[in-house]
Chain A
Amino acid sequence: MDFTFDEDQLLFQTTVRDFLAKECTPEHVRAQWDAGRAHDPALWKKLAEMGVPGLLVDEAHDGLGMDETTAVLVFEELGRAALPEPAIATAAVAAPLLAAAGSGAATRWLAPIARGEAVVAVGHAASPFVTDADVATLLLLRSGDAVHALRPDDITATEEPGNDPSRRLFSVAFEASDATRLAEGRSGRALQTAALDRGALAAAAEQLGVADQLISMAAAYAEERKQFGKPIGSFQAVKHMLADCKVSLEYARPVVHRAAFSVASDSAHRSRDVSMAKVAASDAATHAARTALQVHGALGYTWEQDLHLWMRRAWSLEQAYGRSTFHRRRVEDAVLQSAAPLGAGTTFADAEPL
């Protein structure tokens, strides 16, 4: 039993954080918005040199061969930087899904993903929309209990303009065929559920970074902004709002980290644990977004102020890979229909080492 990260994991996190602080500035995000694409191949290539898209890809396919407990630390940083990019679909979902599908048609994509040459869009059961279908070199889409791998020429994508220009939504039409099918039946359903769980876990991890950034921005503003001759951060009404955000965040964090362990160890509680993480982290991030806006006042309500880069991320990640209502239902079903005992001593009762 050890609920800490090792130094290599933390160093990797810090390295990604420092890199994105320089490369993924608010100016960069706004430039991507103006360009109408949530993908910058040059930046993605640099992230690939650090190993980000290939985090979960094995070393034989040019990846880092790490597991989800490291991935959540990195995704937290992508959230902190409000990075556009189809990172969740490509690195957290597609890479392990293709490896699990196992066929040559699937695994031939692993090295291009790890090298930053291929980005992927993923369709899943919790939403009719496919994110970043316009920039994907590969699309993994579902049809009934099957999973299909499609190239851009095989689909028709219609943009559904949405609230977050960093997460572009598309309705996608495609013709499924024997040639495009990666899996079906029981294994297809298993891949679909795993895709949803993995996407939700990465989105939850990004929400931690988003929440942390929003709280930091609000705290910094509350210190600098003076009214009645004092920083507004010296007023308890402001302090207490931000303190509550901090409580939400710090109690979401271990839930996300446990879910990462459950995915990595393929726990029987994997889906439940991921749903708890998605709910807790989204609550923390949307709570922080609402509060940070209130602390910034009218300034935060402008397009010019950068605050909404993260507010939009909080809202849009809440939608990604299952809304909180969807995930709450999953936890409710798991808890209320479970024959397993609840209560003290049950939390790690079935956990197996990695």
Chain B
Amino acid sequence: MDLSYTPEQSAFRAEARAWLEAHVPNEPLASFDTPEGFEAHRAWERTLHDGGYAMVPWPVEYGGRGADLLTWLIFEEEYYQAGAPGRVNQNGIFLLGPTIMEFGTDAQKARFLPKMASSEEVWAQGWSEPNAGSDMANIQSTAVRDGDHYVINGQKTWASRGAYAHWLFGMFRTDAESERHRGLSFILVPLDTPGVTVRPIEKLNHKAAFAEVFFDDARVPCEHLLGDEGAGWSVAMATAGFERGLMLRSPARFQQTAARLVALYQENEAEVGPAVRERVVDCWMRAEAYTLETYRTVSRLLAGGKIGAEASLNKIFWSELDLAMHELALEILGVRAELLPGAPSAGGVGDWLDGYIFALSGPIYAGTNEIQRNVIAERLLGLPR
């Protein structure tokens, strides 16, 4: 065990910090769940890509930097410390990208990864259907082979980034006779395919972040099948592993929130009193624990380990922590807690409310925390189904 950084790692940190200081926009970009914000974030992704920082852990040939996951964690820390914009293509770069790396053919890697790394193509995820949410294996959308195409029919919903994205990945039933998690295939669908209709859905924050997607005899080339036909469930579980843990939710974001919470408490200490003190520091400790566990996981992966059902532990931990930190911040803010960022009296604290609304989605998306608890109980503790 050695918990110190190597000189190379420290040098990379300094280099990334300097680059971010020079390039991160001074003003926050508009939300990427608005048309203008979406394009502004894509422009930022191009800057990041040109600087060589878009995909730190990916091979150079796919638009990455060829660094290991520890280097990536360091980058993430600097990225959040610099207050850089959110990653508009997170469904692609953090979820689908690693999945293509694991299951894709060489042709698919060459076709999809570079344009994903540059955000020329932004991805939406198509997991849920009206009758397949927590019960994901109840997927009913079908993909029927017709020559060298799949003909897709059905409906996906809650497709994150669906309103503006170019492509969607999801599971479709390729074997009409199959049931549950058998007979599903993981297919990549261009959203401009004739027969595909995207209908944006406004989220709790009144922004069109996700969408319903309807498929009406949409023809998609068979070469967009990821993994084997009928093996979609195991491909999707790998994607879900990335979503629940390491890739989508590196610890830096929560550490920044915890540090802001500590500062918020210190500014308002006289009003809120000591009762909140213990809870504030408890949140800070949990953010540290999440960081430590992530470094432990990355060390394990570098030593040849794999991410398995323990991703469900991560999902519960970060989503509950994020919510707890924002709830506490609103408590500290008192009457100002209900002000949106634009309110004249918000005085720069309105983003806590925004963050709170977003944090409320954490225990729901990427598999509800109740589903995660089932996974932990059955797969880590061996309890019967």
> Are B373 and A342 closer than 8 Å at their CB atoms?
no
**Contact with B81, one of A219, A243, A280, A343 (Cβ below 8 angstroms):** A343
In the bound assembly, the distance between CA atoms of A196 and B70 in angstroms comes to 33
- B383 CB contacts on chain A under 8 angstroms: 219, 222-223, 231, 233-234, 238-239, 242
Q: Mark B1-43, 1 if CB is under 8 A from A, else 0.
A: 1111110010001000000000000000000000000000000
Tell me, rounded to whole Å, the shortest Cβ–Cβ distance linking A68 to chain B.
10
Those of B276-315 within 8 Å (CB) of chain A:
277-278, 281-282, 284-286, 288-293, 295-296, 298-300, 303, 310, 313
Known A1-B70, A344-B80: A236·B370 in contact at CB below 8 Å:
yes
In the bound assembly, the distance between CA atoms of A215 and B382 in angstroms comes to 11
Q: Does A290 contact B (CB under 8 A)?
A: no
Q: Mark A323-350, 1 if CB is under 8 A from B, else 0.
A: 0000010011001100001111111100
Known A1-B295, A252-B289: A351·B281 in contact at CB below 8 Å:
no
> Are B2 and A344 closer than 8 Å at their CB atoms?
no
In the bound assembly, the distance between CA atoms of A63 and B83 in angstroms comes to 50
Segment touching A, from B189-197, B233-241, B248-256: B248-256
Tell me, rounded to whole Å, the shortest Cβ–Cβ distance linking A152 to chain B.
38
Known A239-B377, A251-B293, A258-B3: A279·B77 in contact at CB below 8 Å:
no
Q: Mark B343-385, 1 if CB is under 8 A from A, else 0.
A: 0000000000000000000000000001011101110111111
**Contact with B381, one of A2, A5, A242 (Cβ below 8 angstroms):** A242
Q: Does B74 contact A (CB under 8 A)?
A: yes
Those of B37-96 within 8 Å (CB) of chain A:
70, 74, 76-78, 80-81
What's the A-B contact tally at a CB cutoff of 8 Å? Answer: 182
Q: Does B258 contact A (CB under 8 A)?
A: yes
Main secondary structure of the interface of B (DSSP, over half): helix
Tell me, rounded to whole Å, the shortest Cβ–Cβ distance linking A45 to chain B.
30
Interface centre among B259, B286, B384 (most CB of A within 10 A): B384
- B378 CB contacts on chain A under 8 angstroms: 239
Tell me, rounded to whole Å, the shortest Cβ–Cβ distance linking B286 to chain A.
7
Please give the residue numbers on chain A whose beta carbons come within 8 Å of chain B beta carbons, in ascending order: 1-6, 69, 215, 219, 222-223, 230-231, 233-234, 236, 238-240, 242-244, 246-247, 250-255, 257-258, 261, 265, 276, 279-280, 328, 331-332, 335-336, 341-348, 351-354
Please give the residue numbers on chain B whose beta carbons come within 8 Å of chain A beta carbons, in ascending order: 1-6, 9, 13, 70, 74, 76-78, 80-81, 251-253, 255-256, 258-260, 262, 265-266, 277-278, 281-282, 284-286, 288-293, 295-296, 298-300, 303, 310, 313, 316-317, 370, 372-374, 376-378, 380-385
What are 16 A-B pairs with beta-carbon distances under 8 A?
A: A4-B300, A239-B376, A239-B377, A243-B316, A244-B316, A247-B316, A276-B285, A336-B281, A341-B259, A342-B262, A343-B258, A343-B260, A344-B78, A345-B74, A345-B255, A351-B4
